[in-house]
Structure 1
Amino acid sequence: MTVTYDLGGKTAIVTGGARGIGKAVVAQLVQSGAEVWIWDADPVPVDGARCQAVDVTKAQQIKDALAEVVANNGRIDILINNAGYLGNYGGFEAFDPVEWQRIIGVNLIGVFEVTHQVLPIMRRAGNGRIINMGSLAGKEGLPNLAAYSAASAGVIAFTKALSREVCDTDIRVNCVAPGPIDTELIRRLGNDVVNGMINASPLKRLGSVDEVAALVLWLCSDASAFNTGAVFDMSGGRARY
């Protein structure tokens, strides 16, 4: 069942919106009437949305893309910080520092860079919705995903801190922390790892991108106006707190 909200007249930016969870979020935002801009390092066309090539770790690329969005729409109502990079699955001692720097860069610094430029526009309007995509790894710390876990934990803490800084406005900042979701990102880890994730899940399956997108959409709507600084699990029962 697809649930939609009336987001007509709203302008949304979705980072990493060309694939996986981001693409599903884009589709549901478009279906709900929002004007959607995808920022992706490797953009591909998505029906009903505009797509820009943006590396979320590059401040100038963000600035240039943002200028185009504002020139066309004059406002930004919704920001979904979804761009992510999982990296290799393996022990931290064997990790190449270049790899974990990229993981931290995309998953955490990228959230900082994008939010730092978009937030002033929302603050001038006095309202907005920011949804940061974290991970179950950030709550529990998953072995063989140490850098990714650390970056996700940073996203969670950033969400809580920023929400308190903007609570004098109608800007709401929340986080969604998925467990294993059926995406190419997860499938690349290999069948043994994926099967282990499924076996560790009380529901014995991976989540779907549409299930995550439905939660994100609700957080974009007025129905969740009293939620800010919250972390919403999407883990099939795996999350322990």
Structure 2
Amino acid sequence: MQVRYDFTGQTAIVTGGARGIGRAIAEGVVATGADVWIWDIDPVELPGTRSVAVDVTQRADIARALTCLDGGRIDILVNDAGYLGSYRSFEGFDPAEWRQILEVNLLGMFEVTHQVLPLMRRARAGRIVNMGSLAGKEGLPSLAAYSAASAGIIAFTKALSREINDTEIRVNCVAPGPIDTRMIRDLGNETADAMIEASPLGRLGDPKEVAALVMWLCSDASAFNMGAVFDMSGGRARY
């Protein structure tokens, strides 16, 4: 059964929406009638959406992108921009790479939220969905920096939700396990196959499945959820 939402008249921003999970989210939200803006370092043409080149680690890029909205209301923010980095032991990491992982995944989310939140505060309503990872809950070997960044996203979600509980703004987190995206496939067939073997469902997730959960969190049906972390792991999550 396909669940349908009506976000007509709402404005949504999806960071990292050019591909993978972010693109699936943008496609899903635009189908609900929302005005969707994709913020990605690589602009993308997606019917019904508008795309702006944004490096989420750069405050000036974010401020410039917000001027395109003419100071209007923002109803939905999905922080999906991310960088997995190399799949290797922590000792084998170049420190410059784990700094980049933290900057894109965690600090980039800080930067975007810091500039968008005041607009939601003004309206006293909105939905923020932060895309974390199963790695942030369990800590995955060979993905130490990504795990640390994802854990920060989870903690930030919980902390921010308590700061804005005097409004109708809802902040939640989705923590996917391995999803069938280029980011996972780029790790190589051996790594992807190992992830499939470790899955109780015996497969990678579909980006559209993640998008469906995100859309529910952005809807009125999820009004009582606040500071929550929702797994999308095919049963891999242990708690």
Q: Taking structure 2 as the reference length, what is the TM-score of the superposition? A: 0.99
Instruction: Map residues 52-63 of structure 1 onto 2, 5 A cutoff.
Output: 52-63=52-63
1:97 is matched with 95
CA distance in 2, matches of 1:171, 1:134: 19
2:130 is matched with 132
CA distance in 2, matches of 1:183, 1:14: 17
CA distance in 2, matches of 1:96, 1:4: 45
2:12 pairs with 1:12: yes
CA distance in 2, matches of 1:32, 1:200: 35
Query: Contact (CA 8 Å) 1:131, 1:219: kept in 2 or not?
Result: yes
Bigger Cα displacement from structure 2, 51-60 vs 41-50: 41-50
1:47: how far off?
1.0
2:197 is matched with 199
Provide the aligned C-alpha RMSD in A.
Answer: 0.7
CA distance in 1, matches of 2:86, 2:26: 27
Instruction: Map residues 193-232 of structure 1 onto 2, 5 A cutoff.
Output: 193-232=191-230
CA distance in 1, matches of 2:76, 2:59: 19
Q: Secondary structure at the match of 1:70?
A: coil
1:30: how far off?
0.6
Unaligned runs of 5+ in 1: none
Q: Secondary structure at the match of 1:80?
A: strand
CA distance in 1, matches of 2:58, 2:183: 22
Query: Contact (CA 8 Å) 1:70, 1:76: kept in 2 or not?
Result: no
1:40 is matched with 40
Q: Secondary structure at the match of 1:8?
A: coil
Partner amino acid for 2:187? Answer: L
Match of 2:146 among 145, 148, 155: 148
Q: Deviation per CA, 1:41-63, whole angstroms, max 9, x where unpaired? A: 01111111000000000000000
Instruction: Map residues 59-208 of structure 1 onto 2, 5 A cutoff.
Output: 59-71=59-71, 74-208=72-206
CA distance in 1, matches of 2:112, 2:52: 14
Percent pairwise identity: 71
Q: Secondary structure at the match of 2:69?
A: helix
Partner amino acid for 1:224? Answer: S
Query: Contact (CA 8 Å) 1:90, 1:145: kept in 2 or not?
Result: yes
CA distance in 1, matches of 2:27, 2:189: 28
CA distance in 2, matches of 1:162, 1:5: 26
Query: Contact (CA 8 Å) 1:4, 1:28: kept in 2 or not?
Result: no
Q: Deviation per CA, 1:13-51, whole angstroms, max 9, x where unpaired? A: 000001000111011101111000000001111111000
1:67: how far off?
1.5
1:4: how far off?
2.0
Q: Taking structure 1 as the reference length, what is the TM-score of the superposition? A: 0.98
1:69: how far off?
1.6
1:113: how far off?
0.2
Total equivalences in the alignment: 239
1:190: how far off?
0.4
1:235: how far off?
0.0
Q: Deviation per CA, 1:71-107, whole angstroms, max 9, x where unpaired? A: 4xx1100000000000000000010011001000000
1:158: how far off?
0.1
1:236: how far off?
0.2
1:30 is matched with 30
CA distance in 1, matches of 2:181, 2:142: 19
CA distance in 2, matches of 1:214, 1:169: 25
